[in-house]
């Protein structure tokens, strides 16, 4: 049996690259502060342009150069060691850490080809699946014609559907005969980028399923619901066949109209930018992945973010995207309040997503998702993560998928 370890050989190489990048980034920040202070900028207004010069500039350039040189040497030295030690089975603890890191820095990890960047894969029982008919038949010897795809949220992974001993996918397999397949993806990438890859992978999965598919259902949590909605959109543009099998789409705490927490981060950036003396710290505030900034207003399509600076997108850039008319869609929201409209509900919602956003409700008819009242449910005195283990939430999911 293969060894299991929280630390993989490739993690050392990945961590060294991140450390080098962090030192270079910190050097840039300190130099920007030094330059702004030395230029005697006014307390308010735009920072002075340019960088430090003379001996000071030479010192900063030397720090960056030496750091990159040392980092390159470490990377070259670790490469044969990683090849020699090979790969190991991952643990759920390591997977959770890597998933969280990808949620925050996933686009950067992918762009720099860092070994910690997650590649989109189908999983079952924590193990990756090969999507050809023979391999799927071996992985699912009791496969049914009712396929359930589960799509996790930001900074999470496929194994985190299991919470407090309960997994909606496993429970639906037991109670309704669904065969659950879990999607693992890099939640730091743009929602639309993940959606386009998901729709292509669904096309292959459905075509390769070992038994005829009677119905396909998708169960989503948080950002996963936005990825699934976007995937339906791109599947239609690509004339994919899998949507013809899709019967139900269930949303758990999905920020259809955005998450206030990300908008709060954007305002912090704005405030820091008021003074040239605090402006360099905006670089720290902007260390948010493309996936996180997409959550500001729930952006689902390429055109929602293309042509807009990542941290300066406005509500005006938001485009409406109706739910697929032929699919039964269901929405579950949560709130820490005892009732809708009380202090906890107004201030916290479920901790991340307000009720109206989770239910797809919007004052603008073009953005309102118009989910029927009998396909909605609100859980009170419940937070965002408890939607994954709530017996009440599961009862509604089971009833909806039964009928």
Note the pLDDT of residue 84: 45
Do 99 and 160 touch, CB atoms closer than 8 A? yes
Q: Model pTM? A: 0.78
Note the pLDDT of residue 115: 80
Torsion of CA 132, 134, 136, 138, to 10 degrees: -160
Note the pLDDT of residue 332: 98
Residue-wise pLDDT tens digits, 186-216: 999 999 999 999 999 999 999 999 999 999 9
Residue-wise pLDDT tens digits, 312-326: 555 555 668 999 988
Note the pLDDT of residue 159: 92
Stronger pLDDT, 62 or 398, i.e. the higher one:
398
Encoded tokens for 130: 């090969």
Note the pLDDT of residue 271: 40
Q: Which of 15-19, 55-59, 163-167, 381-385 has the lowest mean pLDDT?
A: 55-59
Beta strands in 236-392 (DSSP E): 246-252, 328-335, 376-380
What are phi and psi for residue 337, nearest 5 degrees? -75, 160
Note the pLDDT of residue 324: 92
- Residue 269: CB partners within 8 Å, gap ≥ 6? 282, 285, 286, 311
Q: Tell me the pLDDT of the chain averaged across its residues.
A: 79
Do 254 and 353 touch, CB atoms closer than 8 A? yes
Torsion of CA 171, 175, 179, 180, to 10 degrees: -20
Q: CA triplet 240, 397, 338: central angle to 5 degrees?
A: 130
């Amino acid at each position: 049996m293969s060894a299991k370890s929280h630390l993989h050989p490739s993690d050392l190489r990945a961590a060294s690259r991140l450390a080098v990048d962090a030192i270079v980034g910190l050097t840039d920040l300190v130099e920007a502060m030094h330059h702004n202070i030395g230029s005697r900028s006014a307390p308010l207004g735009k920072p002075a342009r340019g960088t430090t010069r003379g001996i000071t500039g030479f010192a900063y350039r030397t720090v960056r150069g030496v750091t990159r040189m040392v980092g390159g040497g470490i990377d070259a030295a670790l490469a044969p060691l990683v090849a020699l030690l090979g790969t190991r089975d991952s643990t759920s603890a390591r997977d959770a850490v890597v998933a969280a890191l990808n949620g925050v820095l996933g686009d950067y990890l992918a762009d720099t080809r860092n070994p910690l960047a997650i590649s989109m894969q189908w999983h079952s029982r924590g193990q990756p699946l090969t999507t050809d008919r023979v391999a799927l038949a071996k992985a699912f010897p009791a496969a049914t014609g009712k396929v359930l795809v589960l799509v996790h949220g930001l900074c999470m992974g496929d194994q985190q559907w299991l919470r407090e001993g309960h997994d909606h996918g496993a429970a639906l397999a037991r109670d309704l005969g669904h065969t659950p397949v879990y999607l693992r993806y890099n939640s730091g990438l743009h929602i639309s980028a993940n959606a386009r890859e998901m729709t292509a992978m669904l096309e292959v999965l459905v075509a390769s399923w070992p038994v005829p598919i009677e119905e396909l259902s998708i169960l989503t949590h948080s950002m996963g619901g936005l990825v699934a909605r976007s995937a339906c959109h791109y599947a239609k543009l690509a004339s994919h066949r899998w949507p013809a099998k899709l019967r139900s789409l269930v949303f758990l705490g999905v920020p259809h109209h955005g998450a206030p927490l990300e908008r709060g981060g954007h305002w912090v950036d704005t405030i820091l930018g008021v003074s040239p003396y605090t402006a360099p710290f905006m670089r720290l505030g902007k260390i948010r992945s493309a996936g996180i900034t997409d959550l500001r207003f729930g952006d689902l399509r390429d055109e929602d973010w293309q042509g807009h600076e990542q941290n300066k997108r406005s509500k005006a850039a938001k485009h409406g995207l109706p739910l697929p008319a032929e699919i039964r869609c269901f929405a579950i929201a949560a709130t820490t309040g005892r009732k809708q409209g009380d202090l906890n509900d107004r201030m916290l919602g479920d901790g991340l997503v307000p009720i109206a956003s989770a239910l797809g409700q919007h004052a603008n008819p073009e953005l309102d998702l118009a989910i029927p009242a009998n396909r909605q449910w609100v859980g009170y005195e419940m937070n965002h993560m408890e939607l994954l283990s709530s017996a009440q939430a599961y009862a509604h999911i089971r009833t909806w998928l039964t009928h």
